[in-house]
Structures are given as C-alpha cells and as structure tokens.
Structure 1
C-alpha cells in the first residue's frame, strides 16, 4: 500500500486576506496530502505540472494541468498529489465571487489562462491592487468567471451496499459484474441498486463506472503506465477500445491528454 505523507494546509486558511487576491506557490511531493481544511474565502487550485486529486464532501476530482478546481468559501476539501506537483492557488476575497460558480467545480484552463497563471506566479505578496500586477490578477478572475465547467467530478454514494461496490471497483476496476451479480453479493435487487445509484450519485451505475475509469486512467497516465496496461487493468478488451472511449469523452488521445 502506498504511504501518504500528511502536510498542513496554508496557515492563512482561517485569517482574512490582506489583498483581494492572494497567490500561493507550492511544490508538493508525490503521495503528499494537504489535510482536510476550509477557507473563509474562495480558492482556485491549479497544478501547472503534475496531477492532483481533490476531495470535496463526497465528491472526488482528478485534476490534470488542463483543468483546475474552484472551491467556494467554507467548503471542506483535501488535496492529494498523485505525482510531483507544481501547485498555484488563488485565494479570492468574497467581493470578487459574484461571477464564480456557487458550488465546487472543475474548470477548463485555456492556453490564455494558463499563460496568465504562469505570470502570476512571480507577483510579490505586497503588490498593489491598482498596479499592473493587480490588473493581471483581475484578468485571471475574469477568465475564471467564463471558464467552461468540466463534467468529471465523481460523487460517491453513502449507502453501505453501494459503498461496498464502489470500494471494490476502485481496487479492481476491471471487475465486470452486472448489477444483478452485485445484488447477490451485497443483498439487494438490481432494481434497488440501480435506483440508489441514480439517487445518491445522480448517474447510472454504468455512467458512474465510466467516470471512475476515466479518473483512474488519468491517474495511471500521470504515473507513466502504458496504454496497454491501463486498458487491461480497466477491463477493456483491447487498447484500441480504451483509446476510443477516452477520445469519445475528451476529444483527444490519452497520449496527448497530459501534454503541457
């Protein structure tokens, strides 16, 4: 079992911001976990290099460099580095949040926004809000407000029977059990399990499993695993079947997905 290294969140978490936008740069080692915490203000979490897993409530996001996670104020979250990560966080005061999503979201990071974030990493902590540095940060807020939301968050159920199923699928994603087969294992009818999946996750069993496979595939790609191994571990008959599924969802091949 991989050992996770627990690290503390920023000491600023429970203190008012000194600037309308605060930039936090951080190098996070692979398998490090920034413990569950929350902020008084909004936060955008972005990794210019590496892949993050962000847990918010019962939802989990896998975050490559093409995306970032928006976390509203007072929302408890935990961040895990699945690879070596170069992290940039933007803390936004409440007055700037009216155009940002009201709930946690995975946001697409355009080439323009990525370039702005790269420049913002060099802004000193004592910058003036009405200076060129402040203008750059205001432009980043504008870009976050219009960023496209990416539908790759994965809600986890709370029903004990569904939790047993989802735990097994995380450990053995190639498991091809139908709901009828799961029903005989966890003691519920396929109809009951189907209804509960839709009620607790907002998606069908097959949709949930595909989302899990996409998240696991991104993680495996970040670890440098081969397409063939990933396809077989996820239960696909061939690498081409996996590539087809991946391109259907993301519009690009797995090899191109993590290219930065």
Structure 2
C-alpha cells in the first residue's frame, strides 16, 4: 500500500479543532480527499462515526485493521490512536460525538451498516451549524441519528492484528496478497516457526484459527473491490476463489448480501 502524502497537516488539525471543542452531543464534519493520501497516527477527543460517502478507507489501530466501504461506517471511541489510508478519492462524512451522549455505543471499535435513513441523517448533521439550536432541528437529527446507530447491525470487517513478529510477517503478507494459497505449514517455513506454534499464536493473538483469519481477510478484500466497482469474478479471484458460485455462497454467508448487492450499493452524494 503506497502513499503519496499526508492530509492531517496543522491546517487540517485547526479545521477539526472547533468541531471537537463545541459543546454539542453530535456534530457533523465533511471533507473530500484525493486518492492515496495517508493520515499518520492521531486521535480525537470525541468519539466518531467515520463514514466514507464515496471511496473506501483503510483504518488501522494498534490492535486491528478495518476496511470501510460506503455501505458501512466505523464507530470509534474517543482518544483511540489510528491511521487512515484513502483507497482512491474519498468523501469523508464523520459524526463527532460526545462520549457522554451515547456511552453504550463507544466502548470499542465496531463496523456498522449505514442504512438509507442514517445516510440522510449524516448529510443533515453536517449541514447544521456547529452550535446548532438545542431546541431545534439539530436536536431531532441528533436524537434520531443516535437511535439509528444503536439499531444498526454490525459487520465482521475487523481484521485482528497480532503482536508477535513471527505471526505478523505472515499476516502482513496475506493482507497484501489474500489469494496466496500457501498452507500454514508453508508459512511456518517463512516465519521460522513450527506450524503448531503458528496455529497457537493465531488463536491466542487474533482469536481465530489460521483458516478463519485468512477467510475474513479474503472476503473483506473482496467487499472492498466490489465497492470500488470491480466485477464479482475479479473480486473472487483477488479473494482466492476459483469457483464463482463458491465465492458467492461464502460472501453471502459472511455478509448477508450477495456480491452483486455489495457492488450496487449507492454512495452518498
């Protein structure tokens, strides 16, 4: 994953500071970014619902990596250090939330579906002034948005990242090339450890077996490619599936929608 610059300059921080400082339970923030920019590790004093109206974001914390296509949003607690990579041009539409406004939502990161109603509420939120009338339209937008976030379903788009050097050399390689067909025994030679040791590390550090972790990486990568307009056949190939029906069945079981439905998701305008 190459980068060509950084977008969180001092000027960008200055733009976001009033959003974080305003005394409102929810405030919208919108910014469009060109392709392949990278935000270095940073954190915000408010919780966020990070949404890409168009484009795909890669968000990484110390513990996990997330792929966020336009049909989803990442709920992130306050003060959590993270990086963001823009996979193509990205229109970020973020809701900044006071932790006290919805403490039950923000104990940890999670990927939520973005319903058509939540999509419209995000649009409405960043159209409001920062210090919106606490008895007016902003109050109702906030109340409904928080309720919609709470009711939205979760998606398994989190990729747990291990800490051990032996395992990280394997997981980094598979994130770069999910279709790599090598077995755990093959990877053991690369990592300089036994297959049994790698299997134990996968379970201990990611909470998944090697096969489960690799399948999650493959399918989330396929979702990313579909969201960028690639065909189901191309997404299946990237994900290491030789059979299109097998890919479709696995994708539907994992996400609850077909590859065609994922590809046709309408971005926020």
TM over 0.5: yes
In 1, the alpha carbon distance for the partners of 2:34 and 2:48 equals 21
Secondary structure, counterpart of 2:178 in structure 1: coil
Please say which of residues 124-133 and 65-74 is displaced more in the overlay: 124-133
Match of 1:84 among 58, 64, 89: 89
In 1, the alpha carbon distance for the partners of 2:173 and 2:211 equals 15
Give the 4+ runs in structure 1 shifted more than 4 A.
Answer: none
State the Cα distance separating 1:205 from its structure 2 match. 0.5
- Please state which structure has a larger fraction of its residues in helix: 2
Show the counterpart of 2:178.
173
Match of 1:48 among 28, 44, 53: 53
Show the counterpart of 1:4.
4
Show the counterpart of 1:100.
105
In 2, the alpha carbon distance for the partners of 1:147 and 1:191 equals 39
Please say which of residues 216-225 and 136-145 is displaced more in the overlay: 216-225
Mapping 1:205-216, distance limit 5 Å: 205-216=210-221
Match of 1:74 among 66, 71, 79: 79
Show the counterpart of 1:39.
44
Show the counterpart of 1:25.
30
Q: Is 1:252 paired with 2:257?
A: yes
RMSD: 2.0
Give the alignment's TM-score, normalised by structure 1: 0.91
State the Cα distance separating 1:13 from its structure 2 match. 4.9
Show the counterpart of 1:139.
144
Kept in 2: contact 1:107–1:148 (CA 8 A): yes
Give the alignment's TM-score, normalised by structure 2: 0.88
In 2, the alpha carbon distance for the partners of 1:216 and 1:10 equals 31
Kept in 1: contact 2:179–2:240 (CA 8 A): yes
Structure 2's unaligned 5+ residue stretches are none
Q: Is 1:119 paired with 2:113?
A: no
Show the counterpart of 2:241.
236
